[in-house]
Amino acid sequence: MKPVTDIAKLEKIANNIRKDIIRSLVAAGSGHSAGPLGMADIFTAFYFNILNHNPKQPMWKERDRLFLSNGHIVPVRYVTMAHAGYFPKKEILKLRKLGSKLQGHPERMRLPALESTSGPLGSGLAQAAGYAYAARMDSRKFRVYCITSDGEHDAGNHWEAVLFAGKNKLSNLTAVVDRNNIQIDGHTEDIMPLEPLADKYKAFNWHVLHIDGHNFREIIDAVQHAKAVYEKPTVIIAHTIPGKGVEFMENRFEWHGAPPGGGPEDVVPKGEQAREALHELRTLGGKIRGEHE
């Protein structure tokens, strides 16, 4: 797929993806809002600029592999894949429906190029590291990427994978941490403090980068930087805003696992949450005037 290099175009694609995330969650009547909205820019960068992939041949053997460890944010992956041409956009309204390809957590056999089934937090990096190790044994040239949440760093099996990848110097593996500082029960630093997170990865022989997870130039440059690191795996700690683009959802852990219409009502009543979210995204928080619903 030919990469999109125009930053303004990538920003527009990401905003459209956020709108469709809201629509899919409303249609499902359940699901997670904060993480998918917060990761829309990173998924847009991967599918429209970074990944070597072909939506018309989704199982192309030389494609880059993108593993999603925190499977609960999969609405952003489904919507981004639809926008990239993997399946018709109308299918996103079947999110979480019985028999749908688009289950609440991704199932590898239901949709080509999902790469893995995910649900249990902390497992994705182990899958990605194993895949990267096997790819190196077979002298394959594709790269392996893994999206992880900060909250799942509470899981011990995640750190086993960090040790494994560092020990084996898996330079073909890049992990991206969604550092949004929330998890379902509250803020990460209240529940199980992670800092100094970068120092922990460095101690396990990883190359560490910090980026603004909403800055396309930083996202793309960080991945290019990772490709130039030959002696160790790279982790990109992406600082993101959960609920990005919808002001009444931003930075609130209460929206971690709630869809529009099912979240806290202290700012916007449940019956108006979907409409207000789409309005904010259409007008970029009121910056664009004269837009119609």
Fold of 7-282: Rossmann fold (3.40.50)
Q: Which residues make Cβ contacts (< 8 Å) with residue 155, sequence separation at least 6?
A: 121, 122, 123
Q: What DSSP element (H or E) covers 21?
A: helix 7-28
pLDDT, tens digit, 9 for 90 and up, residues 104-156: 999 999 999 999 999 889 999 999 999 999 999 999 999 999 999 999 999 99
DSSP 8-state class, residue 207: E
Residue 86 near residue 113, CB atoms below 8 Å: yes
Instruction: Tell me the residue type at 138.
Output: D
Region 220-229: mean pLDDT is: 98
DSSP 8-state class, residue 7: H
* Short-list 239, 229, 179, CA closest to 206: 229
Tokens 């020990």 map to which residue? Answer: 167
Residue 95: what are its φ and ψ, rounded to 5°?
-50, 130
First to last CA, the chain: 33
* Strand duo 234-239 + 173-179: pairing: parallel
Q: What DSSP element (H or E) covers 178?
A: strand 173-179
pLDDT, tens digit, 9 for 90 and up, residues 49-106: 999 999 999 999 999 999 999 999 999 999 999 999 999 999 999 999 999 999 999 9
pLDDT, tens digit, 9 for 90 and up, residues 168-213: 999 999 999 999 999 999 999 999 999 999 999 999 999 999 999 9
SS3 129: helix
Q: What is the 3-state secondary structure (H, E, C) of 91-106?
A: HHHHCCCCCCCCCCCC
Structure tokens at 91: 């299918």
d(CA 264, CA 275): 15
* Strand duo 186-187 + 182-183: pairing: antiparallel
Q: How far is CA 152 from CA 69, 177, 184, 190, in A?
A: 9, 10, 11, 14
